[in-house]
């Protein structure tokens, strides 16, 4: 029997990259998975690959009305939510001196404000045994050139897990973070203009000597989603090849 | 198929507590497991419960000769090692002002020096895909009364995983740490006065500051160790996986 048999999961930003790999893993462990994304055609293609245990809801994590519609739909279709993987996030570079207000607002809008309301609006659907996983990043604890705004959003994310673990005491709902290192996804290939150039550069600094794959984050998210991690709370599980560790 | 099918594992201090629960979980996932411990009757009883996929070798991790004998036997019986869980260890209370040289020497000998040589002497048997897991504790980052020497040994343990991750670059062997919070084991009982009443008082006081509101069970550490031992954690290195009910997180 799968580790998530009978569970209902939501993965925001589940149409590509880490979110999509996690949807595949959750389904193979027996869950029914809702995924979101902004682009309809990418969502449709993802659900076609994921099969009958997946359902897509086109929605933008930054848009609070979209979130209300999303949870209304999950409530109608399944009536509850067991696992929430808040994965939708964006990243782009801007060195100090060239940080624009638009850069700041867009990244904080999705990664911090969008994440906060994705969690808060999910609470009425969640109960004892529920697991919330926030997608952070190793950049929350390590400086990289031109990534200061993105890094700050991820430090905020990591800290939400502390505060919410305190707030949710007694509810039986756990909150944890998974923090990837450099992972080969459509998003990081965009940073390398369609190639793995950006990833290759990071890989030289990784003790394991390579960048990671989406399914390696999916396995960590599965650990945090399932009862295997029943005594893990408020924690940041870093899957970074050691880049943020040594 | 199990997550550790065909793997050979060693769990030091595997006859009771967290080590025993981990041996059980490893076997469930398909591994063959060697366990160690100092007390022969406890070791024999553990192996009897674990069944035919386990073998006990009486050895004290603080004794380098014992470690040589241990690895010679593993080499002879199985020829290799895939997973090493360095779990043997423990601590006793001594507040500053009452720390004796003996307390210091013993605690560092079993938790630090024994751990260093348990790992170093295992290297010839380990290869690509190998996974080393060190058992530390949340006390490595959190101060608790009368536990400073034990805490210092565990901070040392956490840091070995950093240095060894750098040293082992290119070998395909990963080193990580698991850091339990308060876990219901004979060891935890051992630091109290031994009565049920005393143990309850001690754990009640502690769980008041655990967000999940309880002490953990050894199986909950075992599941984390399986994650670190298996390919599920193939991109996790030099990391400290804390399983503490949130105790040291918030
Ligand atoms: N890849 C890495 O190296 C890495 C490292 C550390 C942390 N992370 C974190 O991991 C998460 C996923 O990264 P990734 O590399 O997998 O990204 P990706 O390849 O760019 O995929 C992002 C996914 O999220 C969706 N998405 C983006 N913005 C959204 C929004 N506002 N609302 C709803 N869906 C949205 C995208 O679809 P649409 O564009 O159609 O909306 C897509 O499905 C992010 O939080 C990122 O910060 C990634
Ligand atoms: N329980 C907790 O709350 C907790 C929290 C954080 C960290 N930890 C760590 O987890 C590990 C296991 O703790 P536990 O609570 O499971 O301990 P435990 O219940 O006392 O069991 C310890 C096991 O290790 C063996 N052992 C002890 N010293 C040894 C040595 N020098 N050489 C070989 N075997 C030895 C014991 O058998 P013999 O006595 O027969 O040798 C027994 O099998 C320790 O490293 C401890 O510091 C525990």
- pLDDT tens digits, B81-108: 999 999 999 999 999 999 999 999 999 9
pLDDT at B26: 98
Q: Which DSSP string corresponds to A104-159?
A: HHHHHIIIIIIHHHHHHTTGGG--TT-EEEEE--GGGSS--TT-HHHHHHHHHHHH
Mean pLDDT over A116-139 rounds to 98
Kindly state whether residues B121 and B238 are assigned to the same domain. Answer: yes
pLDDT at A1: 82
Active-site amino acid positions of B: 150
How many domains, chain B? 2
Strands (E), chain A: 8-11, 32-37, 54-58, 83-86, 131-135, 174-180, 183-184, 212-213, 236-239
Using alpha carbons, select from A1, A63, A7 the residue that is nearest to residue A36: A63
B→A interface, C-beta within 8 Å: 161-163, 165-166, 169-170, 174, 181, 211-213, 216-217, 220-221, 223-224, 226-227, 232-246, 249-250
Position B250 in a domain: no
Segment A184-231, tens digit of pLDDT: 999 999 988 999 999 999 999 999 999 999 999 999 999 999 999 999
Quick one: which atom of ligand 2 is closest to the CA of B20? Answer: 43
The SS3 of residue A246 is coil
Segment B124-179, tens digit of pLDDT: 999 999 999 999 999 999 998 999 999 999 999 999 999 999 999 999 999 999 99
Contact criterion met (CB < 8 Å) for A228 and B169? no
The alpha carbon of A46 and the centre of ligand 1 are apart by a number of angstroms equal to: 14
Facing residue for A239 by CB, picked from B220, B235, B250:
B235
Q: What percent of chain A has pLDDT over 90?
A: 98
Kindly state whether residues B166 and B226 are assigned to the same domain. Answer: yes
> Does the structure show a pLDDT above 90 at A78?
yes
Facing residue for A241 by CB, picked from B232, B237, B242:
B237
The SS3 of residue A13 is coil
pLDDT at B194: 86
pLDDT at B38: 98
**Residue pair A24/A85 in contact by the 8 Å Cβ criterion:** no
Contact criterion met (CB < 8 Å) for A181 and B235? yes
Position B249 in a domain: no
**Residue pair B12/B85 in contact by the 8 Å Cβ criterion:** yes
Position B2 in a domain: no
Structure tokens at B128: 């690509």
Segment B192-213, tens digit of pLDDT: 888 999 999 999 998 999 999 9
Lookup result for tokens 């800290």: A159
Facing residue for A219 by CB, picked from B220, B232, B250:
B232
User: What range does the domain containing B191 cover?
Assistant: 185-215
Kindly state whether residues B84 and B23 are assigned to the same domain. Answer: yes
Contact criterion met (CB < 8 Å) for A229 and B223? yes
pLDDT at B94: 95
Kindly state whether residues B76 and B194 are assigned to the same domain. Answer: no
Kindly state whether residues B39 and B138 are assigned to the same domain. Answer: yes
| Nearest Cα residue in chain A from B177 | A245
Q: Give the domain A8-239 fold.
A: Rossmann fold (3.40.50)
Query: How confident is the prediction for chain B on average, in pLDDT?
Result: 97
Q: What φ, ψ does residue B230 adopt, rounded to 5°?
A: -95, 175
**Ligand located closest to B35 CA:** 2
Quick one: which atom of ligand 2 is closest to the CA of B136? Answer: 7
Mean pLDDT over B223-247 rounds to 98
> Does the structure show a pLDDT above 90 at A22?
yes
CA distance A31 to chain B (A): 18
**Residue pair B105/B152 in contact by the 8 Å Cβ criterion:** no
Mean pLDDT over A115-120 rounds to 98
Structure tokens at A70: 């999303």
Q: How far is CA B247 from the centre of its chain?
A: 19
Q: Collect all residues with Cβ–Cβ distance below 8 Å to B120 and sequence separation of at least 6.
A: none
Kindly state whether residues B139 and B75 are assigned to the same domain. Answer: yes
Contact criterion met (CB < 8 Å) for B246 and A216? no
Band the pLDDT of B7: cuts 50, 70, 90: very high
The alpha carbon of A179 and the centre of ligand 1 are apart by a number of angstroms equal to: 13
Residue nearest (by alpha carbon) to ligand 2 atom 45:
B89
> Does the structure show a pLDDT above 90 at B51?
yes
Kindly state whether residues B69 and B117 are assigned to the same domain. Answer: yes
Task: Please count the other Cβ atoms lying within 10 Å of the Cβ belonging to residue B141.
Answer: 17
> Does the structure show a pLDDT above 90 at A39?
yes
Band the pLDDT of A163: cuts 50, 70, 90: very high
Query: How confident is the prediction for chain A on average, in pLDDT?
Result: 97
Confirm or reject contact between A165 and chain B (CB < 8 A): yes
Kindly state whether residues B99 and B60 are assigned to the same domain. Answer: yes
Best of A231, A234, A239 to substitute, by most chain B Cβ atoms within 10 angstroms, is: A231
Kindly state whether residues B90 and B194 are assigned to the same domain. Answer: no
pLDDT at B219: 98
Kindly state whether residues B84 and B165 are assigned to the same domain. Answer: yes
Domain ranges across chain A? 8-239
Kindly state whether residues B106 and B197 are assigned to the same domain. Answer: no
Best of A29, A205, A233, A241 to substitute, by most chain B Cβ atoms within 10 angstroms, is: A233
> Is the CB–ligand 1 distance for residue A201 below 6 Å?
no
**Catalytic residue flag (residue A150):** yes
How far apart are the C-alpha atoms of B229 and B7, rounded to whole Å? Answer: 10
**Which one from A71, A91, A150, A211 is the annotated catalytic residue?**
A150
Within 8 A of B238 by CB-CB distance, chain A residues are 207, 242, 245-246
Position B59 in a domain: yes
Band the pLDDT of A44: cuts 50, 70, 90: very high
């Amino acid at each position: 029997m799968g580790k998530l048999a009978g569970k209902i999961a939501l993965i925001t930003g589940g149409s590509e990259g880490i979110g999509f790999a996690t949807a595949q893993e959750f389904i193979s462990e027996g869950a029914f998975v809702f995924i979101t994304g902004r682009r309809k055609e990418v969502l449709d293609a993802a659900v076609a690959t994921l099969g009958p245990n997946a359902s897509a809801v086109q929605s933008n994590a930054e848009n609070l009305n979209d979130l209300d519609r999303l949870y209304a739909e999950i409530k109608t279709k399944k009536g509850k939510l067991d696992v929430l993987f808040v994965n939708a996030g964006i990243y782009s570079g801007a060195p100090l001196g060239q940080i624009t207000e638009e850069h700041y607002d867009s990244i904080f809008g999705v990664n911090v404000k969008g994440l906060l309301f994705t969690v808060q609006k999910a609470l009425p659907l969640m109960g004892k045994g529920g697991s919330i996983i926030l997608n952070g990043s190793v950049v929350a604890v390590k400086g990289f050139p031109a990534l200061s705004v993105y890094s700050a959003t991820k430090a905020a994310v990591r800290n939400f897990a502390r505060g919410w673990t305190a707030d949710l005491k007694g509810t039986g709902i756990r909150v944890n973070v998974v923090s990837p290192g450099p992972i080969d996804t459509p998003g990081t290939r965009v940073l390398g203009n369609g190639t793995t150039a950006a990833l290759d550069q990071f890989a030289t600094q990784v003790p394991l000597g390579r960048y990671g794959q989406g399914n390696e984050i999916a396995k960590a998210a599965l650990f945090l989603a399932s009862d295997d991690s029943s005594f893990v709370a408020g924690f940041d599980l870093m899957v970074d090849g050691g880049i943020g560790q040594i | 198929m199990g997550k550790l099918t065909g793997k050979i594992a060693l769990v030091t201090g595997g006859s009771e507590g967290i080590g025993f629960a981990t041996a059980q979980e490893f076997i469930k996932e398909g591994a063959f497991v060697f366990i160690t411990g100092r007390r022969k009757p406890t070791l024999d009883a553990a192996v009897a419960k674990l069944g035919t996929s386990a073998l006990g070798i009486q050895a004290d991790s603080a004794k380098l000769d014992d470690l040589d004998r241990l690895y010679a036997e593993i080499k002879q019986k199985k020829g290799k090692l895939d997973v090493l869980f360095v779990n043997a260890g423990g601590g006793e209370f001594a507040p500053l002002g009452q720390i004796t040289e003996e307390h210091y020497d013993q605690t560092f000998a079993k938790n630090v020096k024994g751990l260093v040589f348990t790992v170093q002497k295992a290297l010839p048997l380990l290869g690509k895909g190998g996974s080393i897991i060190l058992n530390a504790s949340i006390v490595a980052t959190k101060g608790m009364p009368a536990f400073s020497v034990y805490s210092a040994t565990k901070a040392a343990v956490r840091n070995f995983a950093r240095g060894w991750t750098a040293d082992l670059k290119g070998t395909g062997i990963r080193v990580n740490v698991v850091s339990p919070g308060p876990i219901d084991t004979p060891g935890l009982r051992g630091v109290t006065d031994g009565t049920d009443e005393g143990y309850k008082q001690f754990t009640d006081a502690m769980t008041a500051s655990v967000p999940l509101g309880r002490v953990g069970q050894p199986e909950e550490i075992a599941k984390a160790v399986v994650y670190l031992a298996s390919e599920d954690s193939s991109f996790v290195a030099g990391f400290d996986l804390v399983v503490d009910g949130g105790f040291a997180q918030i």
